[in-house]
Amino acid sequence: MEAQDKVELVRRVYDAWSVGDFSEGDVFAPDVEFEMVDWPEAGKSRGLKEMAHTWVAALSAWDDFRAEPRELIEVGEQVVVLTHVHARGRGSGVEVDADTATVWTVDRGRIVRLALYWDSAKALRALGLRD
């Protein structure tokens, strides 16, 4: 799969998710790995059903959660998405603005791993893009 194709695949998922369409499940490998590396609600799972469960559980801490992709960068078999998150804590009402990143690993046209980083610099360092 060409680099541009990987970026477009990931962009397609974000576009669908932004309007509440989660039917893009066919782009994920059945045993997709999902890890919230350094998030306050860290978690790790395997498979679509478990990925959804982990993500829903993490989002339950927030009354409002919006993630806006700002830049998609292809790095080998991976696409790193630099994202700005705005969220409001459930109960506390605390507003959070953070620059986060998600590293998507693509193999043979399917997404096989997502690694979410609350600290975007940490994700870029993990990929060797920053010191």
**Using one digit for the tens of pLDDT, what is the confidence trace for 5-62?**
999 999 998 888 777 676 666 899 999 999 988 876 677 889 988 888 887 887 788 8
CB atoms under 10 Å from CB of 16, counted, come to 14
- Residues 64, 95: Cα–Cα separation, whole Å: 9
Residue 124: strand, helix, or coil: helix
Least confident span in 17-26, 77-86, 87-96: 17-26
H-state helical runs in 25-113: 48-59
What length is written for the chain? 131
Residue with the two structure tokens 């080998």? 76
- Residues 77, 1: Cα–Cα separation, whole Å: 9
> What φ, ψ does residue 123 adopt, rounded to 5°?
-65, -45
For the cut 70, the answer to whether the pLDDT of residue 1 exceeds it is no
Question: What's the whole-model pTM score?
Answer: 0.85
Give kind and range of the element (H or E) at residue 63: strand 62-75
Which amino acid, residue 71? E
The answer to whether the beta carbons of residues 5 and 22 sit under 8 Å apart is no
74, two tokens: 């292809």
Would you place residue 74 in the very low, low, confident or very high pLDDT band (cuts 50, 70, 90)? Answer: very high
Which amino acid, residue 18? S
